[in-house]
Amino acid sequence: MANSPPFPRPLMVLGTSSGAGKSLMTAALCRVLRRRGETPLPFKGQNMSNNAWVDAEGGEMAYSQALQAWAAGLEPSCAMNPVLLKPQGDSTSEVIHLGQSVGTARAEHYYRDWFKPGWAAIRTGLEDLQRAHPGGRLVLEGAGSPVEVNLQSRDLTNLRLAQYLRAHCLLVADIERGGVFAQLVGTLALLRPVERPLIRGLLINRFRGRRELFDSGRSWLEQHTGVPVLGVMPWLDELFPPEDSLDLLERRGRKADAALEIVVLRLPSLSNFSDLDPLEAEPSVQLRWLQAGQPLGQPDAVIVPGSKQTLRDLAALGASGLAGELVRYAASGGQVLGICGGMQMLGVSLEDPEGLEGGRPGQAQGLGLLPLETAFAGTKALAQRRSLALWPDGEQALEIEGFELHRGRSQLQAPGACQPIAAAANLGWWQPFGDQGGLVAGTYLHGVFESGAWRRRWLNGLRQRKGLAPLPETVPHHSQQREALLDRLADAFEAHVTLEPLLR
């Protein structure tokens, strides 16, 4: 049995809905258990996300489980997320098992075709994780709601897993969404009798105002459900990584001290948006997420982020008119940076003979901002990378690091057509554009902004164009800031949540 001694009782964080805060509450729980001297083992059997991470062995996993691993003081491993579904439009998803792509599934056939292989991958992930960390405590995250009655018979990652491991479960509800009593009572009412004892506590998340204002509600819930309310988590002002792309819509606050405005194109098939978290955390930078139909304006820079369906997103840019605006912006002196699929779109041509990036075989003209030709193949580039940066200042080289996660292979139309951004081959290129001082660059390196000194040097180039004083480049890697955020999250969790009934 996966939970037999010497492993302590697994814990599981369930939610009344998607976006209830399961990912961050699981991360908080991992950090708190680590503080208590335990080895928490974050695990999400199945996740659906295009926000991915590549582990040290070249395995693909959801970024949220990587964040939980950092909270636990562990190196992320794809065993922590053995099944990853990456939506790619038309009700289809790429299926990742134990870090590797194993095919494509249509929504209506997923449970018919992928249930047994998925459960096998989950059991293997559990065994691998527990073998690597003897004595560790599994801290599981559920997915969506655990009581979707039309899916319960084929549940892979909620109550089936909780029963299999005899986990003690914490049920989280987001009071900010409204209807928190109906969320909790309704979820508990839909549990089967064998499942109800698994729920050992309730957690109210994202509460605004004084906690005592919810005292009567807390008492009512405990009287009507028989389940203790273990805590009321406050609304946290810190900017934590969003759980999915829908959360990006909530990032609309203006920064009083922002001196730079950077536009990020919110592509229909946006992926790896966590690349932008270090920029979001810069006090002097205002990110503006731009959707089709909104004016581009004259920002200090434009970032074209990663895409799960590069050809489709390129077509969407053309249909919306954003493609033409972007070219005119660069020609008039603007700076454009593409990341992964965003860089591929900036090239001159994209060939997709297997239909991997557009749903069907095809080819397309790129935006023509970089002299790159990209061809897509079935084998992904999956690797952590480290190199010296040759751009934006090759005379004072800085180290950059991140990971590659892409299918396409890009090459220059002619040697010397533009300059490499890094000493390592094929990580990206840059070139001046037009006669108004424009510049276009692209990189395959996800996470490039996490390198603090490099990020500040790039920002200082933008600041210099506006006559602003440079920012200090002696800043740490973004991972240190992420650690501080996780500590503040755990501090709040410890202050507002009682764990003993869950651990008992």
Helices (H), 226-288: 277-280
Catalytic residue among 97, 168, 406, 446: 446
Q: Do 298 and 334 touch, CB atoms closer than 8 A? A: yes
How far from each other are the two terminal CA atoms of the chain, in whole angstroms? Answer: 21
Q: Which residues contact 169 (CB under 8 A, 6 or more apart)?
A: 11, 12, 13, 14, 162, 198, 199, 200
Whether 446 is a known active-site residue: answer yes
Scan for tokens 């929504």, then name that residue. 107
Whether 340 is a known active-site residue: answer yes
Q: Which residues contact 60 (CB under 8 A, 6 or more apart)?
A: 52, 53, 54, 78, 84, 96, 99, 100, 101, 380, 382, 405
Q: Do 229 and 222 touch, CB atoms closer than 8 A? A: yes
Distance CA 432, CA 412 (A): 15
Calculate the CA 355 to chain-centre distance. 25
Q: Do 24 and 240 touch, CB atoms closer than 8 A? A: yes
Catalytic residue among 30, 78, 340, 418: 340
Q: For residue 339, give both structure tokens.
A: 């990341």
Tell me the residue type at 173.
A
Distance CA 405, CA 403 (A): 7
Q: Do 18 and 476 touch, CB atoms closer than 8 A? A: no
Q: For residue 319, give both structure tokens.
A: 């249909």
**Nearest CA to 222 among 201, 196, 243, 191?**
201
Q: 58 — alpha (psi -120 to 50), left (phi > 0) or beta?
A: left
Catalytic residues, by residue number, are 340, 446
